[in-house]
Copies of this chain bind each other. A is one copy, B any other.
Amino acid sequence: MGISERRERDKERRRAEIIEAAERVFFCKGVDNATMDDVAEAAELSKGTLYLYFKNKEDLYLAIIVRGITILQRAFEEAAKARKKGIDKVAAIGRAYFDFCKTHAQYFSAMLYFESYNLDPGADSGYGVQCTNQTNRTFAICEEAVQFGIDDGTIRPDIDPKKTALTLYGLATGLLQIISIKGKLIRQDHHVNPDELIDTFFDLIAKSLRP
């Protein structure tokens, strides 16, 4: 049975190579400008082969997004682990998110695509569901941190951890989205440094989570 296993490994390696190539191409030219022929060339394969490994262009893009979410998840885990108090865990996760947005801007804007992507509920295959699952796992870390804070008394106990975590996640993502896309505009039209909005956000939230 060694052969079929090696075949499986080869296939996964191929798949990874394609994702790697696609990432280079998409991140460089932008998803919309990049063509599947570009990806094929970068992967040193024919276009048809791409479709043996991925349903379509979107699926390939979602595969890249899964990687991004995984990186973010790791960052969240580290951030939460490194703090003792619940409220600090939450804050650290928030900071980790903003750092991620800066250091992995390409991944982040890819993830925004997924955020505004309506995956059809019928599809149980493909990378769309992986994205959803991975996002849920990432989100779970936030929820745990909030719960931890409630338990150790550093976060007010009258809030629902799940709802709060979901809300915070949505808020932070929205703010980052605006900053990442309209950042220049904010600076030009409003003479505000986008980073200060993040600080404003932290100020606001810190006040509202206090017991």
Any B CB within 8 A of the CB of A151: no
Contact assessment for A208 and B197 in the assembled complex, using a CB-CB cutoff below 8 Å: no
Q: How far is the CA of A139 from the CA of B184 in the complex (A)?
A: 16
Question: Which residues of the partner chain B approach A190 to less than 8 Å between Cβ atoms?
Answer: 162, 166
* Interface secondary structure of A, over-half rule: helix
Q: How far is the CA of A118 from the CA of B166 in the complex (A)?
A: 27
Q: A112-B116, A116-B177, A174-B171 are in contact. Are A163 and B196 (CB under 8 A)?
A: yes
Any B CB within 8 A of the CB of A105: no
- How many interface residues does chain A have, given as a range? 35 or more
Q: How far is the CA of A197 from the CA of B169 in the complex (A)?
A: 11
Q: Which stretch in A4-12, A14-22, A64-72, A199-207 binds the other chain? A: A199-207
Residues of A161-211 at the interface with B, using a CB-CB cut-off of 8 Å, are: 162-164, 166-167, 169-179, 181-182, 184-186, 189-190, 192, 196-197, 200-201, 203-205, 207-209
Question: Taking beta carbons and an 8 Å cutoff, which residues of A are in contact with B?
Answer: 112-113, 115-118, 121, 132, 136, 159-160, 162-164, 166-167, 169-179, 181-182, 184-186, 189-190, 192, 196-197, 200-201, 203-205, 207-209
